[in-house]
Amino acid sequence: MPRGGRKGGHKGRMRTYTSPDEIDAQMKEEKERKKLEAEAEASGVTPTDIAEEKLPGSGSDDSDDENSSRRRAGVEGLIEIENPNRVAQKNKKVTQIEVDEPKQLSRREREEIEKQKAKERYMKMHLAGKTDQAKADLARLAIIRKQREDAAKKKEEEKKAKDAAASASKGMNSLSMK
């Protein structure tokens, strides 16, 4: 048994069926529309022009004005709206487009480019040793080099002292054995 039990519809609604008369009317309209489209293709005229000619009492002056502007659907055709914020899209031809004109960047794109340039400038100054951080790094590096030099000298002195002590003890051992 389907979900909804006996009622069958969603949330208790009853099913509605299209009457055979309505179906016949829709089929006739569909056939007429296809016939008009076929005639339009054969004669080279748009199907809307043929439909307007067959409608009784259609004014040719009004229809030309409406066809030139965009077609309005629903309530929009009944109400005239003047929205100052709405900008209609204007199609440009290929000849009107200027390739040489620089593309306008958005605020985020401009900020991103500025950030990258600032980072590059900072890195150049840092490598040249002109920034505070670079100066501090160089001072730290100089201190570490000096400590390592001192440690190397100390090791060298200790090694020399050890060698001298070893040679002196060898000399003592050789004298004592004789």
Q: 62-92 pLDDT, tens per residue?
A: 444 444 456 666 776 677 777 778 777 778 7
Q: 64: which 2 tokens?
A: 């030309």
pLDDT in tens, 115-144: 999 999 999 999 898 889 899 999 999 999
Q: 91: which 2 tokens?
A: 């199609």
Q: Among residues of the chain, what percentage have pLDDT more than 70?
A: 68
Under a CB-based contact definition with an 8 Å cutoff, are residues 105 and 113 in contact? Answer: yes
The rounded distance, in Å, linking the Cα atoms of 143 and 147 is: 6
Q: Alpha helices of the chain — where are they, by DSSP H?
A: 20-43, 47-54, 60-68, 107-128, 132-177
Q: Is 19 helix (H, G, I), strand (E, B) or coil?
A: coil
CA torsion through residues 107, 112, 115, 121, sign: negative
The rounded distance, in Å, linking the Cα atoms of 48 and 121 is: 64
Q: Which amino acid is at 103?
A: K
